[in-house]
């Protein structure tokens, strides 16, 4: 490749490097300004749940490339061969950083460069394969566990997929099944296009909180769009820090079975464009330098509705393990979330009528003190009512994290939900059995406390699976588990640890079916506080919060009952 080092060329190169450097610090479902220019590296969603088909396994699904048009030819989206895709697992509070890393790398080939069609006569252009490496020492060393893995083509249409002039396949589902790989270390793996499983009324939500819409019809803004997915089915004994199988758990909330999961994409630091291209065999560009993280995702909606636009790009340049060091910068977005302003009539709630059911309890509105005033108060009459003494909120190693100061009301609920997980400790237990004292011991219903990083999806793998066919199954996840634990006579007559259906739901991990937008809005409204016994100021407010809906409550395509569980991608000839 000829290099011309004129002053004009140097300035052009510097300008390109500045743009490239800017693009290398953004992420997540078009949530940060810069990543919108780099869809192949854009994390869209992350899921982690105990497999309903094989309870000895955990399924992790990381999706990339937002809003793919199924009919988007002639150049359809695919994983980038110059992008490093990774799934990270933290399973030990005593170790710094990741414990397990899965790394995907992709390769592409044009099998018939003489046609403008993507598929013709049994050949594919941009035919994609992958290799998968695994690290069990936090990324220090990697071992190849899948080589030459198959990526199914995009679901272009029946002539491209099933007909003799295309691939002559029996159907697209058959292509998906054939693409499932068995890793040398026991994992099952799928990489390929799927229906986007996230469902949300994007139009209403981003029209200044008009969800449910006050006029017009709610619409799933991601309906009939596709994404590209990386799916892993992993033995719980592989993910457990000491290699123990789930039957060795001491109970269904065992601390030793908690994992944190996050996903990322990285690019080389420098990309050089070739101005000497004479044929298809000449590379248009090359990359060099160290790998730089350009995309990051843990909990859904963090960067979308918690982090404000001025910090989105910077936030996405960090790993979760850097979040705590940046608490001064990011903490207040969780302590006083912007969304709470629109659920408070003393602030801007009156201007957002769609959120009227979601009014927040007094004392926990933005700028108020929450439970901080009780942190060092003396117990009343020798008991704990009116004091956080004897709770995790006053334990030395966690007090500054969960009750750091006045004017930070949501440090006790929103911050741990997104950044540490929630412990099976007083006061984080259901109000069942508390006898009106929210700071007393109650009924356990969650333990995914892993305070070693920041924004990650945390899952307690010991919690049993709620069958998808059960009458108790609910897309409200842990919110519905709390409702059942408080109201259902099967569970509300004692303070014992019992499996309450949907204890395996978001935010204890994330199932494909979980309505995370609705649950997150309910959480900002204070439903976790209400569940542990801190009531709303209006008697009927809790019912309003539970029954609140954005108007979009399920995916546009049914999920499968077997790995990889996601729905097949929409076909280009079927979408109008």
514-558 confidence digits (pLDDT tens): 999 999 999 999 999 999 999 999 989 999 999 999 999 999 999
CA distances from 488 to 432, 483, 501, 546 (A): 11, 8, 11, 15
- 286 and 409: one domain? no
Give yes or no for a contact between 42 and 65, defined as CB atoms under 8 angstroms apart. yes
Residues 6+ positions from 130 with CB-CB distance below 8 Å: 79, 104, 105, 106, 107, 146, 149, 151, 191
- 256 and 195: one domain? yes
Q: Which of 285, 300, 315 is the last residue of a domain?
A: 300
Residues 217-225: what's their mean pLDDT? 95
Cβ count within 10 A of residue 482: 26
- CA-wise closest residue to 241 among 342, 138, 335: 138
- 427 and 542: one domain? yes
Query: Hey, which residues does 48 pair with through a beta bridge?
Result: 60, 510
Predicted local distance difference test score (pLDDT) of residue 30: 64
Q: What is the pLDDT of residues 344-371, one digit of tens each?
A: 999 999 999 999 999 999 999 999 999 9
Residues 6+ positions from 167 with CB-CB distance below 8 Å: 119, 122, 124, 153, 160, 161, 175
- 240 and 335: one domain? no
SS3 172: helix
The owner of tokens 């302590």 is 335
- 368 and 291: one domain? no
Residues 44-58: what's their mean pLDDT? 97
Of residues 251 and 72, more confidence is placed in 251
Question: For 208-228, b where at least 16 C-beta lie within 10 A, e where not — what string?
Answer: ebbbbbeeeebebbbbbbbbb
Alpha-carbon gap, residue 526 to 53, rounded angstroms? 34
Residue 1 has pLDDT above 90, yes or no: no
Which strands form 57-68's sheet, in the order they lie side by side? 43-50, 57-68, 226-235, 188-195, 181-182
Return mean pLDDT, the chain: 90
Predicted local distance difference test score (pLDDT) of residue 9: 39
Q: Which of 69-73, 169-173, 202-206 has the highest mean pLDDT?
A: 169-173
Predicted local distance difference test score (pLDDT) of residue 453: 83
Residues 308-312: what's their mean pLDDT? 84
Q: How confident is the model at residue 576 (pLDDT cuts 50, 70, 90)?
A: low
Give yes or no for a contact between 502 and 480, defined as CB atoms under 8 angstroms apart. yes
Give 3-state DSSP helix, strand, coil % of the chain, rounded to 5: 25, 20, 55
Query: Is the residue at 401 inside a domain?
Result: yes
Query: Is the residue at 313 inside a domain?
Result: no
Give percent of the chain above pLDDT 90: 79
Give yes or no for a contact between 228 and 193, defined as CB atoms under 8 angstroms apart. yes
Residue 383 has pLDDT above 90, yes or no: no
Query: Is the residue at 318 inside a domain?
Result: no
Of residues 312 and 445, more confidence is placed in 445
Alpha-carbon gap, residue 532 to 100, rounded angstroms? 34
SS3 411: helix
Residue 13 has pLDDT above 50, yes or no: no
Residues 37-57: what's their mean pLDDT? 94
Q: How confident is the model at residue 20 (pLDDT cuts 50, 70, 90)?
A: very low
Residue 287 has pLDDT above 90, yes or no: no
Question: For 496-523, b where at least 16 C-beta lie within 10 A, e where not — what string?
Answer: ebebbbbbbbbbbbbbbbbbbbbbbbbb
DSSP state of 337: -
- 337 and 296: one domain? no
The owner of tokens 């307690």 is 460
Residues 6+ positions from 113 with CB-CB distance below 8 Å: 125, 280
Angle at 481 (CA atoms; ends 562, 196), nearest 5 degrees: 40
How far is Cα of residue 361 from the mean position of the Cα atoms in its chain?
Answer: 28
Query: Hey, which residues does 459 pair with through a beta bridge?
Result: 259
Predicted local distance difference test score (pLDDT) of residue 223: 95
Q: How confident is the model at residue 11 (pLDDT cuts 50, 70, 90)?
A: very low
Residue 182 has pLDDT above 90, yes or no: yes
Residue 2 has pLDDT above 80, yes or no: no
Query: Is the residue at 208 inside a domain?
Result: yes
Angle at 305 (CA atoms; ends 88, 528), nearest 5 degrees: 85
Query: Is the residue at 267 inside a domain?
Result: yes
- 366 and 473: one domain? yes
Give yes or no for a contact between 397 and 93, defined as CB atoms under 8 angstroms apart. no
Predicted local distance difference test score (pLDDT) of residue 92: 96
CA distances from 483 to 241, 429, 490, 500 (A): 32, 13, 12, 10
- 71 and 209: one domain? yes
Total structural domains within the chain:
2
- 232 and 100: one domain? yes
Give percent of the chain above pLDDT 70: 91
Residues 195-222: what's their mean pLDDT? 94
Alpha-carbon gap, residue 182 to 125, rounded angstroms? 25
Residue 5 has pLDDT above 80, yes or no: no
Of residues 305 and 233, more confidence is placed in 233
Query: Is the residue at 457 inside a domain?
Result: no
Question: For 430-467, b where at least 16 C-beta lie within 10 A, e where not — what string?
Answer: bbbbbeebbbbbbbbbbbbbbbbbbbbbbbbbbbebbe
Query: Is the residue at 114 inside a domain?
Result: yes
Alpha-carbon gap, residue 452 to 457, rounded angstroms? 12
- 540 and 493: one domain? yes
Residue 23 has pLDDT above 50, yes or no: no
If phi > 0 it is left, if psi is from -120 to 50 it is alpha, else beta; for residue 130 that is beta
- 342 and 296: one domain? no
Q: How confident is the model at residue 340 (pLDDT cuts 50, 70, 90)?
A: very high
Pairing of strands 127-135, 123-124: unpaired
Predicted local distance difference test score (pLDDT) of residue 482: 98
As a dihedral over the C-alpha atoms of residue 313, residue 319, residue 324, residue 325, rounded to 10 degrees, the angle is -80
Alpha-carbon gap, residue 157 to 405, rounded angstroms? 58
Q: Which of 260, 282, 300 is the last residue of a domain?
A: 300
Residue 377 has pLDDT above 80, yes or no: no
Q: What is the pLDDT of residues 506-520, one digit of tens each?
A: 999 999 999 999 999
Give yes or no for a contact between 67 and 222, defined as CB atoms under 8 angstroms apart. yes
- Residue 445 belongs to what domain range? 329-452+466-503+516-547
Predicted local distance difference test score (pLDDT) of residue 4: 37
Tokens of 400: 């500054």
Pairing of strands 57-68, 83-90: unpaired
Query: Is the residue at 562 inside a domain?
Result: no
Residue 378 has pLDDT above 90, yes or no: no
- CA-wise closest residue to 244 among 259, 257, 232: 257
Residue 324 has pLDDT above 90, yes or no: no
Predicted local distance difference test score (pLDDT) of residue 356: 96
Predicted local distance difference test score (pLDDT) of residue 14: 34
Residues 241-268: what's their mean pLDDT? 97
Predicted local distance difference test score (pLDDT) of residue 485: 98
Alpha-carbon gap, residue 34 to 26, rounded angstroms? 5
- 338 and 420: one domain? yes
Predicted local distance difference test score (pLDDT) of residue 286: 80
Residue 342 has pLDDT above 70, yes or no: yes
Residue 208 has pLDDT above 80, yes or no: yes
Residue 25 has pLDDT above 60, yes or no: no
């Amino acid at each position: 490749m000829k290099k011309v080092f004129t002053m004009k060329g140097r300035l052009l190169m510097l300008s390109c490097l500045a743009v490239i450097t800017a693009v290398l610090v953004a992420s997540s479902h078009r949530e940060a300004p810069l990543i919108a220019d780099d869809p192949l590296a854009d994390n869209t969603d992350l899921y982690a749940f105990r497999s309903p088909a094989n309870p000895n396994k955990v399924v992790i699904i990381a999706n990339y490339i937002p809003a793919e048009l199924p009919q988007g030819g002639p150049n359809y989206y695919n994983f980038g061969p110059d992008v490093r895709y990774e799934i990270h697992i933290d399973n030990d509070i005593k170790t710094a950083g990741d414990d397990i890393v899965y790394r995907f790398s992709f390769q592409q080939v044009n099998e018939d460069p003489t046609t403008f069609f993507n598929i013709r006569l049994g050949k594919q252009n941009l035919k994609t394969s992958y290799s998968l490496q695994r690290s069990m020492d936090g990324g220090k060393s990697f071992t190849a566990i899948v080589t030459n893995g198959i990526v199914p083509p995009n679901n272009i249409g029946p002539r491209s997929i099933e007909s003799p002039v295309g691939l002559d396949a029996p159907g697209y589902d058959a292509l998906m099944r054939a693409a499932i790989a068995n890793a040398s270390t026991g994992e099952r793996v799928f990489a390929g296009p799927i229906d986007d499983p996230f469902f949300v009324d994007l139009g209403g939500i981003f029209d200044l909180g008009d969800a449910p819409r006050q006029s017009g019809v709610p619409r799933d803004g991601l309906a009939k769009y596709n994404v590209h997915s990386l799916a892993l089915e992993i033995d719980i004994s592989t993910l457990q820090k000491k290699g123990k199988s789930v039957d060795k758990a001491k109970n269904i909330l065992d601390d030793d079975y908690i994992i944190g999961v996050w996903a990322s994409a990285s690019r080389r630091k420098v990309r050089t464009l070739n101005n000497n291209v004479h044929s298809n065999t000449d590379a248009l560009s090359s990359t060099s330098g160290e790998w730089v993280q350009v995309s990051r995702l843990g909990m859904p909606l963090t960067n979308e509705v918690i982090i404000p636009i001025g910090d989105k790009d910077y936030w996405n340049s960090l790993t979760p393990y850097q979040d705590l060091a940046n608490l001064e910068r990011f903490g207040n977005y969780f302590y006083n979330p912007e969304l709470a302003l629109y659920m408070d009539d003393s602030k801007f709630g009156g201007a957002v009528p769609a959120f009227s059911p979601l009014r927040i309890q007094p004392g926990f509105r933005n700028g108020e003190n929450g439970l901080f005033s009780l942190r060092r108060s003396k117990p009343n009459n020798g008991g704990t009512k009116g004091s956080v003494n004897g709770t995790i909120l006053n334990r030395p190693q966690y007090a500054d994290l969960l009750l750091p100061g006045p004017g930070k009301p949501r440090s006790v609920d929103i911050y741990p939900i997104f950044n540490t997980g929630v412990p099976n400790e007083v006061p984080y237990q259901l109000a069942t059995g508390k006898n009106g004292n929210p700071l007393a011991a109650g009924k356990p219903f969650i333990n995914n406390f892993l305070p070693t990083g920041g924004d990650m999806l945390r899952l307690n793998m010991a919690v049993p699976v709620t069958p998808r066919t059960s009458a108790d199954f609910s897309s409200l996840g842990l919110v519905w588990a709390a409702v059942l634990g408080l109201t259902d006579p099967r569970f509300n007559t004692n303070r014992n640890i019992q499996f309450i259906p949907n204890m395996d739901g978001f935010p204890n991990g994330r199932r494909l079916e979980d309505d995370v937008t609705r649950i997150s809005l309910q959480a900002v409204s204070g439903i976790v506080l209400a569940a542990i016994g801190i009531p709303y100021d209006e008697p009927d407010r809790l019912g309003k919060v539970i029954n609140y809906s954005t108007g979009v409550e399920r995916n546009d395509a049914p999920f499968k009952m077997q790995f990889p569980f996601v729905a097949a991608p929409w076909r280009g000839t079927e979408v109008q």
